[in-house]
Amino acid sequence: MSATVDRRPGPLARLPGVAAMLIVLVVVFALASPDFATLPNLSNVLVQSSVLLLLALPMTFVIMTEGLDISVGAVLTLGTLSVAATALATGSLVLAFLAGLGTGLAFGFFNGWLVAYLDLPPFVATLGSFSIAQGLALALSGGQSITGMPPGLLAIYSGTVLHIPVPILIIVIAYAVMHGLLYRTPFGTYIFALGGNREALVLAGIPPRLMLAAVYALSGLMAGIGALLLTARLNAGHPTAGIGMEFDAIAAVAVGGTAFERGNGWLFGTVLGVFAIGILRNGMDLLALPSSLEVACIGLLVIAAFLIEAIKGEQP
């Protein structure tokens, strides 16, 4: 199996795991809360999941290369601070957006350099940059929020175009681009090969290190875009805004059925995983359960996903 490169999107056999979880969650919450299965609430789930989706899509790529990016939550945090600080200082949303993108890209390249060129284990490399980004966020902000944003910023999160909320448009575009990148370009093939068969890349004359670094850079870049959306949502920059988001992103990818070895990934599964987590959080909010339990339940969701995989793996 490891010798071949599985290029096709998810085989139907993989669908039941995450789809079954989604159906169970929807049915349970629809029965438990009358407010759950309403159009405004479901649209709300989509909007609230937008930042997470921006992180989880490139995380799928990273995990397909048998890597991991622990730093995205902290980079997102630092990104919101750059966006907010730039918006406050210049009043320009374009410059603020560029500052967020720059922060994300800088950490993405740093991670890519650590993993691809210095050969550090991805987990520890990104744990180190997580610590650096979070440390910078706390130290530079002095633990304070940055408020007083220009008036246009809010529209990026709460505005609508043709009655469709802007965040939903952003995630549809982001998914289309990432889907195209993975399934329609040579770069996508390289991503599958990085996890499945790295020697094949070398033999084909493709520089595997450069491709691997590009995957981490992409992850940083998307965190930068997410930072703009999150800053607009909070209408402020906050030194703990993105804490734990990397866990939700990894959980979404795991729940979505992307394997942590052999380069088997399924991008739309990640989307379903993001929705499963979004629905879980939204439903528990509606039932007024404490948010600390949401975190514990997402942990259980991940373990359940692995259990399903393990059971399926034992009966081929």
Chain residues binding other proteins by CB under 8 A are: 68, 114, 118-121, 123-125, 127-132, 134-136, 138-139, 142-143, 244, 247, 250-251, 254, 260, 290, 292-300, 302-303, 306-307, 310
* DSSP β-bridge partners for residue 38: none
Choose between 93 and 302: whose C-beta lies nearer to other proteins: 302
Choose between 20 and 295: whose C-beta lies nearer to other proteins: 295
Least distance in angstroms from the C-beta of 190 to other proteins: 23
Alpha helices in 65-121 (DSSP H): 72-90, 93-112
What phi-psi label fits residue 235: left (phi over 0), alpha (psi between -120 and 50 degrees) or beta?
A: left
Per residue, what are the HEC states of 103-118?
A: HHHHHHHHHHHHHHHC
Phi, psi of 288 (to 5 degrees): 60, 35
Choose between 116 and 166: whose C-beta lies nearer to other proteins: 116
Give me the numbers of helices (H) and strands (E) for the chain, helices first please.
14, 2
Least distance in angstroms from the C-beta of 266 to other proteins: 17
DSSP letters, 296-314, are HHHHHHHHHHHHHHHHHHH
Choose between 232 and 276: whose C-beta lies nearer to other proteins: 276
- DSSP structural state of residue 153: H
Residue 156, SS3 per DSSP: helix
Angle formed by the axes of helices 291-314 and 15-32, nearest 10°:
150
Reading the block at residue 149, the tokens are 């944003």
Pairwise CA distance, residues 174 & 168, whole Å: 10
Least distance in angstroms from the C-beta of 247 to other proteins: 6
Phi, psi of 281 (to 5 degrees): -65, -45
Choose between 187 and 247: whose C-beta lies nearer to other proteins: 247
Least distance in angstroms from the C-beta of 137 to other proteins: 9
Choose between 113 and 183: whose C-beta lies nearer to other proteins: 113
Is 221 within 8 Å of 108 (Cβ atoms)?
yes
Least distance in angstroms from the C-beta of 301 to other proteins: 9
Residue 237, SS3 per DSSP: strand
Least distance in angstroms from the C-beta of 188 to other proteins: 24
Least distance in angstroms from the C-beta of 293 to other proteins: 6
